[in-house]
Amino acid sequence: MNLTLHVWRQKNERAAGRMVRYDARDVSEHMSFLEMLDVVNEGLIAKGEEPIAFDHDCREGICGSCGFMVNGIAHGPQPGTTICQLHMRHFKNGDVLYLEPWRAKAFPVVRDLVVDRGAFDRIIAAGGFISVSTGSAIDGNAIPVPKRNADISMDAAACIGCGACVAACPNAAAALFTGAKITHLGVLPQGQPERYNRVLKMAVQAKEEMFGNCTNIGECEAVCPKLIPLEVIARMNRDFIKGSLFDRPLSAASE
């Protein structure tokens, strides 16, 4: 099939960007979307032009590195799918595709379709962990975990931090990401000692990173490639209220 691509090209965060038209010829329906871009880039390099920059690593929908907008939809039109796992059979010959990076103040453009998602790392560093004594590993059966809690935790832990939720949200909120990271620890016994202090610290960090506020529109859940449910945001909000009343972090209490 033959496609027309309009790709956002931008040299760096400070440079002005623009859409540039490219023709993708003889595209196999068996290619992934990124493989299609690889072929386009080979043609650009052969002509002495700069290839299109885009993030990728495992290309198996696991690492969360890849991601950009395809015709205004994060990761493209196929639900529950990362852009690296989106195959060209979901498009038709002659389609016109517009490729743009994630659009959020907290995700500055590095180059073309690549954005800096370091804000996510800083949210996790603020409290997305548990503090335990070092030493030999505890027997997995030593701490009973209810099946329902284990399922909730595993579902939330599926978040790969790709940033699609932020890009799709009209407010550029990171609520689904932050809620997932809080939920997967907060429902387990190991996460209880720091449960409320954790949510306060991570929420404060998300605000400092200039993410917007959640207004429960639901676009984040719709584009999440791992189908993280909106209920993680409700859990985060509930724990935030409880933490605000009973377990304020030291930094907040000293202000």
pLDDT in tens, 230-245: 999 999 999 999 999 8
Phi, psi (rounded to 5 degrees) for 156? -70, -35
What's the token pair of residue 87? Answer: 């195959």
Q: What is the pLDDT of residue 36?
A: 98
| Residues 16-23: contacts with CB under 8 Å, at least 24 apart | 17/109, 19/98, 22/52
Question: What is the percent of the chain with per-residue pLDDT over 70, rounded to a whole number?
Answer: 96
pTM of the model: 0.91
* 3 state SS of 219: helix
Render pLDDT for 156-180 as a digit per residue (tens, 0 to 9). Answer: 999 999 999 999 999 999 999 999 9
Q: Terminal CA-to-CA distance of the chain, rounded, Å? A: 61
For the chain, which domains are there?
3-110 (3.10.20.30), 117-253 (1.10.1060.10)
What's the token pair of residue 188? Answer: 């387990």
Phi, psi (rounded to 5 degrees) for 22? -135, 150
